[in-house]
């Protein structure tokens, strides 16, 4: 039964990829499921997708819980749709409404009924079985880009390393803040000054919004003197915009800022550099997984066990044992 299911799926792959590149929402959803599941069919999927990779602009959206990431994403989607662009959304955030199975189900079903809708929304588990954001997200990006998305928004909660990860995946990273959340201090702590290409202060009608803007400007004024900022080519200084996402106010300004950043990226060669770095990270992660699996296969057999027993008995030190293991893997 399982074998039958697998072979059926594998047989479907070229057809699925064709349908996905024609913009079929169900096919897109199934391909992203293959990505999330780490399916063996992924090799074939990625091989078929490579020549039709598309040219989606990848926008990262990050911020602390409560700053209005989902609302801002919705407002941006609406702004892009008004421009007639196709938009993909990857919500990598367990606390986001997009991640709610039911709501997401509704949206997916809605797309099934209107495949020309021009919006793909997908929630992804923040930590996949193979290392999370950095592993699965680039491949989901490929699927959405090949499906004809002009823009893909990756929305993720800015906690821990997530905002650094999303910045490494995105062409343009937007850091969202909101008044009354101690964001000024938080910003300095988490090093978001380093990752932000655009700052958006949301909930700008609330008290303290101007103070957040002033805090950011002050930190930027310090930051431009630091070596890590000085190394930026052509001196992109992240603009600070104000929005009221719940009312849709300011979303067009954000889209314009993204476009200006895109022009800067292209003019300085930074776009190619970022995308090459991203691909190198992805290739390296896959290669390490392949090597880890080979070691795992050896572990399933007796080779590693024999080496380990010799280490326990003091016949072999762990480095020499590792050398033998590496030789077995690479032999």
**What residue ranges bind a second copy (CB under 8 A)?**
42-43, 46-47, 49-53, 138-139, 272, 275-277, 279-280, 282-284, 286-288, 290-292, 295, 299, 304-305, 307-309, 311-312, 314-323, 325-326, 329-331
Query: Is the CB of 188 or the CB of 328 nearer to a second copy?
Result: 328
Least separation in angstroms between CB 322 and a second copy: 4
Least separation in angstroms between CB 46 and a second copy: 4
Least separation in angstroms between CB 313 and a second copy: 9
Query: Is the CB of 247 or the CB of 275 nearer to a second copy?
Result: 275
Query: Is the CB of 1 or the CB of 312 nearer to a second copy?
Result: 312
β-pair partners for 58: 152
Contacts of 203 (CB under 8 A, 6+ apart): 67, 68, 178, 179, 209, 244, 245, 246
Distance separating alpha carbons of residues 85 and 77, to the nearest angstrom: 9
SS3 content of the chain, % helix, strand, coil (to 5): 65, 10, 25
Least separation in angstroms between CB 44 and a second copy: 9
Least separation in angstroms between CB 175 and a second copy: 25
Query: Is the CB of 203 or the CB of 278 nearer to a second copy?
Result: 278
User: Cα–Cα–Cα angle for 44, 47, 53, nearest 5°?
Assistant: 130
Query: Is the CB of 135 or the CB of 199 nearer to a second copy?
Result: 135
Is residue 165 within 8 A of residue 190, CB to CB? The reply is no
Distance separating alpha carbons of residues 238 and 219, to the nearest angstrom: 12
Query: Which helix (DSSP H) or strand (DSSP E) does residue 174 occupy?
Result: strand 172-177
């Amino acid at each position: 039964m399982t074998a039958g299911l697998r072979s059926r799926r594998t047989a479907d792959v070229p057809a699925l990829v064709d349908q996905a590149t024609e913009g079929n929402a169900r096919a897109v959803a199934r391909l992203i499921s293959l990505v999330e599941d780490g399916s063996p069919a992924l090799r074939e999927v990625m091989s078929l997708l490579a020549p039709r990779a598309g040219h989606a602009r990848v926008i990262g959206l990050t911020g602390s819980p409560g700053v209005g990431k989902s609302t801002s994403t919705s407002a941006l989607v609406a702004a892009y749709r008004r421009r007639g662009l196709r938009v993909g959304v990857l919500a990598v955030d367990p606390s986001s409404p997009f991640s709610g199975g039911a709501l997401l189900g509704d949206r997916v079903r809605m797309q099934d009924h209107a495949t020309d809708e021009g919006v793909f929304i997908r929630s992804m588990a923040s930590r996949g079985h193979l290392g999370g954001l950095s592993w699965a997200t680039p491949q989901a990006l490929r699927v959405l880009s090949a499906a004809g998305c002009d823009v893909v928004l990756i929305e993720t909660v800015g906690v821990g390393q997530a905002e650094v990860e999303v910045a490494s995946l995105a062409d343009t990273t937007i850091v969202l803040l909101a008044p009354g959340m101690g964001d000024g201090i938080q910003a300095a702590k988490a090093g978001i000054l380093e990752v932000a290409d655009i700052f958006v202060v949301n909930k700008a009608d609330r008290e303290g919004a101007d103070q957040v803007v002033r805090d950011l400007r002050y930190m930027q004024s310090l930051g431009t003197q630091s070596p890590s900022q000085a190394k930026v080519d052509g001196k992109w200084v992240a603009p600070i915009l104000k929005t009221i996402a719940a009312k849709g106010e300011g979303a067009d300004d954000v889209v314009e800022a993204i476009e200006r950043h895109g022009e800067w990226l292209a003019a300085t060669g930074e776009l190619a550099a970022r995308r090459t770095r991203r691909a190198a990270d992805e290739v390296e992660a896959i290669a390490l997984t392949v090597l880890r699996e080979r070691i795992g296969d050896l572990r399933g057999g007796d080779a590693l066990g024999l080496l380990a027993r010799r280490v326990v008995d003091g016949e072999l030190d762990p480095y020499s044992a590792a050398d033998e293991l590496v030789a077995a893997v690479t032999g």
